[in-house]
Amino acid sequence: MKYGIYYAYWEQQWDSEGFLKYVNKVANLGFDVLEINGTPLPEYSQSDIKGLKTCANAAGIEITTGYGPIYEHDMGAVDQSIRKSALEWYKRLFHVMEQLDSRLLGGAIYSHWPIDYSKGVNKEEDWKRSVAGMQILGPVAKEHGITLGMEILNRFENHILNTADEGVRFVKEVGQDNVKVMLDTFHMNIEEDSLQKAIHTAGQYLGHFHVGECNRKLPGNGRIPWKEIMEALREVNYQGCVTMEPFVRMGGRVGEDIKVWRDLSNNATESELDEAAGKSLLYLKGLIK
């Protein structure tokens, strides 16, 4: 099992082009993987790509990519022209990801994020179009050696996939071996009867795993049963990455989109955030020694 952390723990904007500065930081904290955001990648220059790749190689850091697709990038959109332009955008993203040796894209890749429920949704029809969209996107990703993680979200953020059970049914319908289920303890806490059972349900289909407390603090600072979770991951022989996705500070688009309306960091400085992340990592690793 590898351990990662999402750069946005330290950031307030999604389109940060400053991923580079987090490579050595997370390596020094003991992580194996830095998760970055896909948003700016299609516009990366060759020198941007080379800079990040060289730095990651030197630090021994693997890069994974997370993405909350905007409406214009919804592969299951009602409007066919949106599905078409979304595919073109993903092709450009995959091209850059491959050069960064970033082999996993996780998030609501089957839909867009967050859903605007004021417009109304039709789960059954949206599900079908999303499956069809992933049947198109999956093989394209595979050409670049990329696995797609279908992140299961809570009901307030998406309507198509809310549970591990739905996720498994969805990826079975898609029927591509690089289209996998992705779980996140923050969302599981809201939707699953049992966190361990959800991991067992996902089983061999589990491709990526996000961790965070119920309020998105770092693991070990709340009431999620981490020992049970880490044991369940071991029981299903999960070989992927356990990636922390903490959000503890207000402000910017990150704070707004994640709905962080109070400071959960205890007014932490950057070095205090670093220290807390390192401590959380040691805590998780210590649970399954």
3-state percent breakdown (helix, strand, coil) of the chain, nearest 5 = 50, 15, 35
Tell me whether residue 210 or residue 217 sits nearer to Mn ion (CB atom): 210
Size of the chain in residues: 289
Catalytic residue among 11, 35, 62, 151: 151
Query: Which of 262, 204, 261, 258 has its CA nearest to residue 233?
Result: 204
- Give the binding range for Mn ion (CB under 5 A) out of 21-29, 176-184, 197-205, 225-233: 176-184
Q: Round to whole Å and give the CA distance between 221 and 50.
A: 37
Q: What does the alpha-carbon distance between residue 227 and residue 185 come to, in Å, rounded to a whole number?
A: 13
Q: Considering the complex, state which of residue 68 and residue 76 has its C-beta at the smaller distance from Mn ion.
A: 68
Backbone angles phi, psi at 158, to 5 degrees: -160, 155
Minimum distance from residue 87 beta carbon to Mn ion (Å): 23
Residue 245 found at the interface with Mn ion (CB under 5 A): yes
What is the C-alpha to C-alpha distance for residues 179 and 191, in angstroms, rounded to an integer? 22
Cis peptide before 219 (omega within 30 of 0): no
**Segment lying near Mn ion (by CB under 5 A), choices 166-174, 195-203, 225-233, 239-247:** 239-247
Comparison of 96 and 242: residue with beta carbon closer to Mn ion: 242
What are the backbone angles phi and psi of residue 209, rounded to the nearest 5°? Answer: -140, 120
Shortest distance, position 181 Cβ to Mn ion, whole Å: 13
From the list 34-42, 184-192, 251-259, 274-282, the region that binds Mn ion by CB under 5 A is 184-192
98 given a catalytic annotation: no
Whole-number minimum distance, CB 82 to Mn ion, in Å? 24
Q: How far is the CB of 161 from Mn ion (least distance, A)?
A: 12
* Euclidean distance between CA atoms 130 and 273, whole angstroms: 37
Binding of residue 35 to Mn ion (CB under 5 A): no
Residue 66, SS3 per DSSP: strand
Q: How far is the CB of 170 from Mn ion (least distance, A)?
A: 17
Segment near Mn ion (CB under 5 A); pick from 23-31, 160-168, 183-191, 198-206? 183-191
Which residues between 191 and 220 bind Mn ion (CB under 5 A)?
Answer: 210
Gap between the Cα atoms of 281 and 45, Å rounded: 33
With H, G, I as helix, E, B as strand and everything else as coil, classify residue 64: strand
- Taking the C-alpha atoms of residue 45 and residue 257, their distance in angstroms, rounded to an integer, is 28
Q: Is 245 a catalytic residue?
A: yes
* Least distance in angstroms from the C-beta of 65 to Mn ion: 13
Kindly state the number of chain residues that form the binding site for Mn ion, as judged by CB under 5 A: 3
Which of 74, 184, 192, 213 contacts Mn ion by CB under 5 A? Answer: 184
**Closer residue to Mn ion in complex, CB, 73/210:** 210
Evaluate whether 147 touches 141 at the Cβ level (below 8 Å).
yes
Which residues are at the interface with Mn ion (CB under 5 A)? Answer: 184, 210, 245
Residues assigned a catalytic role: 151, 245
